[in-house]
Structure 1
């Protein structure tokens, strides 16, 4: 081996160790950077004239486990979906309350029933009669507030859908842009790893909104599909996804009637069946709240309000009532009917006939809502009848989700139980999904930068650097000897 060849070999070794050291430094510096994939330097022996010619750097490889990454994205989408539903379920439990706890709907009903019983024992005491009115108003306000919060949750979900769609479009545009940049760098022979890291981070964010499948294309590009097969990006132009918000929602506005929008995909609104193409992430969670979970709770609250109204608007309970007259509770001042129950929980109110501040008289609780005179002050017949009507088992009205016969307090407790059960189930699902996502995330991290392994590589590069440096030093000494001859 000539001196020149030995020098060339040593220089190529120093170049390789310098590049390897840079790779290790980059790995250690970005160990916790989202989207960053471990780098490894690929080298091979090169030959010159059939003899060893040192080492050649073949490139810097970006190390990623594609199947593990896909599993991680699916788990993150499931966690986002479960978390969205869990937050909603917790809020609804706060609004409706837990059975037996102060501040719950059931507690308001219990207070009202207790006030009726107290007034029945002293029907002549106008203070007790006023307490019945106050308890009735409190119960109505609890139903009103619960209905209002349900609709606020639907409105918030509608707005969250718009935000998710905006983020999804921005993410797809970013991936499309990075696809183009990566293709250009690869054509120039430049390492595009940093842009690939950025693209991976963008796809990870998209996957939380809707789970995606990544498919490699030519020139370093990727295509994105939803798990159910909708094409989000395959080429340079992403799919066109849009959504129109609906403002403040009311119980009457639903997607089936066309009052609420679904997703628009490439210019056409998706059908209910086609919406499954976007299932699995936070986007689906918001649609579930807006169109299913909150609407179902509104129906239950309306059924409770109608049951309460009907029990005290019965002519057998209050003989002063005409067939079209409202009882103690009214629907906007009039009598509720089964054909217009939707939204009743938000409209139910106490009859102004018993409210002194609205020109009413509390003695009507004793004599009847439509009574023309106060009657005997010691007559507790109506008060007892109203109390008995509330505690009587009766069949649910046609169209409600209640089955069989039950007391009013039993139905209030059933709704509270449903809400609490939904919250417990949502929390359990979130815990499971979070545990799965954390486990897979740990595997992704373990498959990424290992600081101990990187430090071992650094020691190896240091030793290789020292060895090549000694060769160059020896050549320098030899050249000095030759020049002194």
Structure 2
């Protein structure tokens, strides 16, 4: 070996040792720096003419493990997802109160039943009547408050999604910019570990927002893709956009660099996935089920109140808007019902018995006169004669008594969709509503749908995670029957037939069921349809979409007429067997109040809502099931959060064991490189001495 080669070997060794010492020094200095990844100098042997000529520094490498990084990013995504879901479901659960406390929401309905039971013991007590009404107001007020706050949580989640997408866009831009810096440093053999560490931290934050796939680039830096392979960061950053409306699920699109197309992307984990689940699934489940529970509880209170009579009897009974025309509303009724005109002292003046099964109306026990749904209003007015009148306007039936008399009704055996005649029309409702809250319309395939031909609604079919599959414009057909409307909705080419189907059950409830394997979900984009003049739209009448259901639990209030005069509460029962001139209702009768107090124990049909399918049970039992469902959802999210955190902790610990700085190891390296530096320095000194000797000889 010549002295020149020896000197060069020693010099490169000295330089390599210096570089390694700097790397070790940086490692030790950053032992507690979050996100710092230890680094090491990469060296290669230099060969000149087949002989060794020292070492060459080819770069500074971060000590990483790709598998552990992927596992850590994935675990972080899952943790952030379930952390978001757990937080908001816990907030939603807390709105219902402490189950062990007196103010627990579901206990308030029991207080309603108890208050009417107490009032039944002294029907003439105005105080007890007022207390009973106050308990109903309290229950309805709490339902409205909880519903409003859950809807507000949805708005909060929506805002957080928008903020999360904006942050993700910022991270993608920073990651792409760092790719350029890392590439430049790599090309000139400079230390790019600082930029790579910063980029790694950005990737960790991004993975907390959304699940990503990260792949290294040959020239340094990373490519970031979505789960379906859309490049969102590399040589440039894609633009993510959050798409949402009040009536449709939210989803996120990506517009790659240089492209004008926005492609919906699939999110399987991350905070954004959790927030989207909350917005479009978890929180709507709660307010939908709250709406079903509240509406059915109100339905039972109203059923009992409509089956009872007040003393003194009211001169007028005004029903609620059914959304139907009268012939359609009357069609399908079975059984019998009685309308009585009673004087202020409770004496029967006129009795009109309606037999829906036979299609007859009789007066004061006389022979029945035939009626049809189309002639019902005229025939009823004929039967009432000079004692009263009936009218129908805006989908609502109204009965009036004349000459200072009042009205009392008996539901008898009348029935349509599980409701009696007076109850179906809401003639004597205890609780009023300012919208359609019961979607059992009673319509059958042979019924007239009643919607104006040519009206349009646009349906959106989406994947279960909210990504749109297709928007379907529907035009109300000229065919007048519900079967015509169903055929239009389910058409394979112009309807939803390729994705699922609409069905109409025996109670006239219209529902959509997605077909496998896509299991599409339905939402309403626009709805300009109208049933009759000024009537409800398709989505309003049948309760389709989130907009129709989100406010349901907040649409109830105690009848203003009863609040202003509690003596109008139907505390008694009409005696239908007495003759004209005999006492038909009595002031001390509390049977009506007892019926209200017992209404929570009557098994009824609940439509599928939230996490519960269609079930038949009592209101009180449903309250327990609903409360348990909310608690289970929150507990399940908390369990998943804890499990994902445990996995993330283990993944991060293993990753840190590889990437983190070990002081003992670094001290060994420090000693090693110091010795290597000293050895190279001595070799240079020896080569220098030999050069001096040679020069002295010359």
Query: What residue number does 1:250 align with?
Result: none
C-alpha displacement of 1:228: 3.1
Higher-Rg structure is: 2
Report Cα offsets for 1:318-362 as digits up to 9, x if no partner.
Answer: 345753335222213x7854335722201222222232xxxx122
Query: What residue number does 1:317 align with?
Result: 307
Deviates more, 1:2-11 or 1:120-129: 2-11
Deviates more, 1:10-19 or 1:468-477: 468-477
Select the residue among 550, 560, 566 that pairs with 1:362.
566
C-alpha displacement of 1:24: 0.9
> Which structure's residues are more often helix, by fraction?
1
Query: What residue number does 2:561 align with?
Result: 353
Change (3 A) 1:20 1:190: closer
Give the distance between the partners of 1:336 and 1:61, measured in 2 at CA: 65
Report Cα offsets for 1:9-35 as digits up to 9, x if no partner.
Answer: 555444333222210121123334444
C-alpha displacement of 1:475: 7.2
Give the distance between the partners of 1:106 and 1:460, measured in 2 at CA: 72
C-alpha displacement of 1:60: 1.7
Give the TM-score normalised by the residue count of structure 2: 0.60
For structure 2, the residue ranges without an aligned partner over 5 or more in a row are 310-407, 410-421, 440-540, 574-584
Give the distance between the partners of 1:43 and 1:146, measured in 2 at CA: 66
Query: What residue number does 2:283 align with?
Result: 294
C-alpha displacement of 1:138: 1.2
Is it true that 1:191 corresponds to 2:223 in the alignment? no
Give the distance between the partners of 1:263 and 1:134, measured in 2 at CA: 47
**1:110 match: secondary structure:** helix
Give the distance between the partners of 2:238 and 2:110, measured in 1 at CA: 55
Contact map agreement 2:254 2:262 (CA 8 A) in 1: yes
**1:43 match: secondary structure:** strand
Query: What residue number does 1:456 align with?
Result: 668
Give the distance between the partners of 2:12 and 2:190, measured in 1 at CA: 20
**2:566 match: secondary structure:** coil
Q: Pairwise mapping of residues 135-150 of structure 1 onto structure 2 (< 5 A)?
A: 135-150=135-150
Is it true that 1:152 corresponds to 2:142 in the alignment? no
Give the distance between the partners of 2:73 and 2:692, measured in 1 at CA: 62
Query: What residue number does 1:403 align with?
Result: 614
Give the distance between the partners of 2:306 and 2:685, measured in 1 at CA: 113
Query: What residue number does 1:16 align with?
Result: 16
Contact map agreement 1:157 1:289 (CA 8 A) in 2: yes
Report the number of matched residues.
460
Contact map agreement 2:306 2:426 (CA 8 A) in 1: no
C-alpha displacement of 1:194: 1.5
Select the residue among 417, 432, 438 that pairs with 1:330.
432
C-alpha displacement of 1:413: 1.2
Query: What residue number does 1:344 align with?
Result: 552
C-alpha displacement of 1:209: 1.6
C-alpha displacement of 1:93: 1.1
For structure 1, the residue ranges without an aligned partner over 5 or more in a row are 247-252, 370-374
Query: What residue number does 2:602 align with?
Result: 392
Select the residue among 254, 268, 271 that pairs with 2:247.
254
Q: Pairwise mapping of residues 226-241 of structure 1 onto structure 2 (< 5 A)?
A: 226-233=226-233, 235-241=234-240
**1:279 match: secondary structure:** coil
Is it true that 1:61 corresponds to 2:61 in the alignment? yes
Report Cα offsets for 1:157-181 as digits up to 9, x if no partner.
Answer: 2112111211111111111111222
Select the residue among 275, 279, 293 that pairs with 2:268.
279
Select the residue among 649, 656, 672 that pairs with 1:438.
649
Give the distance between the partners of 1:145 and 1:80, measured in 2 at CA: 29
Change (3 A) 1:79 1:301: same
Give the TM-score normalised by the residue count of structure 1: 0.84
Give the distance between the partners of 1:431 and 1:362, measured in 2 at CA: 53
C-alpha displacement of 1:67: 1.5
Change (3 A) 1:54 1:232: closer
C-alpha displacement of 1:229: 2.7
Give the distance between the partners of 1:285 and 1:19, measured in 2 at CA: 46
Is it true that 1:379 corresponds to 2:378 in the alignment? no
C-alpha displacement of 1:88: 1.6
